[in-house]
Amino acid sequence: MEKIIVEGGKRLEGELIVSGAKNAVLPLMAACILTEGVNTFTNVPDLADVRTMSEMLEILGARVEYDNGDLSIDTKKLNKWVAPYELVKTMRASVLVLGPLTARFGRARVSLPGGCAIGERPIDQHLKGLRILGAEIEIEEGYVGTVAPKLQGGVIPFDVSTVTGTENLMLSSVLSKGETILLNAACEPEVTELGQVLNEMGADIKGIGTDIITINGVSSLSPIKDHEVMPDRIEAGTFMIASALTKGDILVKNCRFENMGALIGKLIEAGADITRENGGIRVKCGNEIKSIDITTLPYPGFPTDMQAQMMTLMSIADGLSIITETIFPQRFLHAGELRRMGADIKLVGNSAVVRGVPHVSGAPTMASDLRASASLVLAGIAAEGKTDISRVYHLDRGYDKLDRKLESVGARIWREKE
Ligand code: EPU
């Protein structure tokens, strides 16, 4: 196992290029199950989660090749419908194969994802939707089994806004008979990208990007060619906070300003200077960071995947900040680690009360999940002294070479064997 070491206190300056989005490419890979042929993608990030989804597709019978951002998925020989526990337990997003396998084979058997460091994360809405489309569902031996010789359209009202739930039901219904309407659908840009790609494959989906999505079933889909995966807005946001934290000046390239309104607004409120520039976003910060309040919400609200990184920024801000987590109310494992670095954070229900301190100091820390790892790397960059972050495999699930990218703009950061 590896750990990351950071020697803090360096001002970051320069340009960083954002990789393709993890949460966009995973559902796109699952969508390939609905086609028979060779699908190709570009700008695919080099991540453990992409490798896990590739392995999953290979177990199902697909041929997957990855080379320096180019991904090809040949589904001609895909002929299995069981997603095993060994893979699902390492990546919850594996559940995205449930819908397309049911649609393609009329049956599927997918290991039920268990608990998770960031919260309970049930999949009841995915299963409710599949039942509405006519699937029979059984949970046995830790697996969800579906049987549905032919899925029929229906109206699916989601009780909560769910990203992978909306994606799974889009993937289930594109080949079903008749019309499906998803109510209270998630509007995240990654859901929009999936809808657009499915339409390019030949699907008939309307209302993409809104909370009412209408899908008219078609008889087949064609493979997608050379689709460029959208940039990762969470990686971009992490770089923006790195700049603000170090009073730096970073141009974050290959990111979409229009997808990042909530974060940009909050960083401006906190005193950062943000400009749109040459297909990127420049973040400068000459002043003290001001404390601000944050509440995570479904898109276009403030993303839960930026909550931990923002908590790091608020830890050294001037004043008191209240961070309220409404998506995963227990997603606060990073708070305890930040406290070990000298941050003043109290948890009250689903809120964190953060009283800014003049500086945090380096300490040995442990990552608990993907975004928590990022918040510790950021804290290490801002800290006085040396920070060790162990269990760095969490980081490698969803950030493409974060340490090397940060090093290229001046951070003192490296890896060592644990
Ligand atoms: N929920 C239910 N029932 C369901 C589904 C969801 O109650 O059937 C609840 C969840 O427990 C949560 C809320 O609905 O309280 C929203 O969860 P959602 O389903 O939207 O989360 P997800 O689809 O499992 C995706 C991302 C997460 C991101 C969330 C929220 C992927 C692969 N994962 O998860 O990304 O935090 O949406 O935006 O897209 C990450 O990248 O670090 C990450 C955790």
CA angle 129, 132, 137 (to 5 degrees): 75
Question: CB of 162 closer than 6 A to ligand 1?
Answer: yes
**Closest ligand 1 atom number to CA of residue 329:** 15
Question: CB of 395 closer than 6 A to ligand 1?
Answer: no
Residue 241's identity, in one-letter code, is I
Q: Which residue is closest in CA terms to ligand 1's atom 14?
A: 162
d(CA 172, ligand 1 centre) in Å: 18
**Closest ligand 1 atom number to CA of residue 127:** 8
d(CA 298, ligand 1 centre) in Å: 10
d(CA 398, ligand 1 centre) in Å: 15
How far, in Å, CA of 191 to CA of 100, rounded? 15
d(CA 162, ligand 1 centre) in Å: 6
154 φ, ψ to 5°? -170, 175
Query: Burial of 353 by CB count in 10 Å (0-12 exposed, 13-18 middle, 19+ buried)?
Result: middle
Question: CB of 169 closer than 6 A to ligand 1?
Answer: no
How far, in Å, CA of 137 to CA of 144, rounded? 7
Task: State pLDDT tens for residues 179-196.
Answer: 999 999 999 999 999 999
372 φ, ψ to 5°? -60, -40
Question: CB of 332 closer than 6 A to ligand 1?
Answer: no
d(CA 163, ligand 1 centre) in Å: 6
Q: Which residue is closest in CA terms to ligand 1's atom 39?
A: 23
d(CA 111, ligand 1 centre) in Å: 17
Q: Which residue is closest in CA terms to ligand 1's atom 44?
A: 305
Output the DSSP codes for 80-123: --EE-HHHHTT-GGGGGGHHHHHHHHSEEEEEPP--BTTB----
Q: In what order do the strands lie in the sheet with 63-67?
A: 63-67, 70-74, 38-42, 227-228
Q: Which of 163, 191, 305, 375 to mutate to test the pocket of ligand 1 (most atoms within 8 A of CB)?
A: 163
**Closest ligand 1 atom number to CA of residue 298:** 38
Residues acting as catalytic residues = 116
Q: Which residue is closest in CA terms to ligand 1's atom 2?
A: 122
| 360 token code pair | 């945090």
Question: CB of 121 closer than 6 A to ligand 1?
Answer: yes
Task: Name the pTM for this structure.
Answer: 0.98
H or E segment and range at residue 146 = strand 143-147
Task: State pLDDT tens for residues 308-333.
Answer: 999 999 999 999 999 999 999 999 99
Residue 277 has a CB neighbour count (10 Å cut-off) of 12
Per-residue pLDDT of the chain (418 residues; tens, 9 = 90+): 899 999 999 999 999 999 999 999 999 999 999 999 999 999 999 999 999 999 999 999 999 999 999 999 999 999 999 999 999 999 999 999 999 999 999 999 999 987 678 888 899 999 999 999 999 999 999 999 999 998 999 999 999 999 999 999 999 999 999 999 999 999 999 999 999 999 999 999 999 999 999 999 999 999 999 999 999 999 999 999 999 999 999 999 999 999 999 999 999 999 999 999 988 999 999 889 999 999 999 999 999 999 999 999 999 999 999 999 999 999 999 999 999 999 999 999 999 999 999 999 999 999 999 999 999 999 999 999 999 999 999 999 999 999 999 999 999 999 999 8
Can you say how many angstroms the Cα of residue 43 is from the centroid of all Cα atoms in its chain? 16
Check if the beta carbon of residue 300 is closer than 8 Å to that of residue 262: yes
d(CA 6, ligand 1 centre) in Å: 30
Question: CB of 307 closer than 6 A to ligand 1?
Answer: no
**Closest ligand 1 atom number to CA of residue 190:** 39
User: First-to-last CA distance in the chain?
Assistant: 6
Task: State pLDDT tens for residues 29-71.
Answer: 999 999 999 999 999 999 999 999 999 999 999 999 999 999 9
Q: Which residue is closest in CA terms to ligand 1's atom 33?
A: 23
Question: CB of 165 closer than 6 A to ligand 1?
Answer: yes
Alpha helices in 293-385 (DSSP H): 307-315, 333-340, 370-382
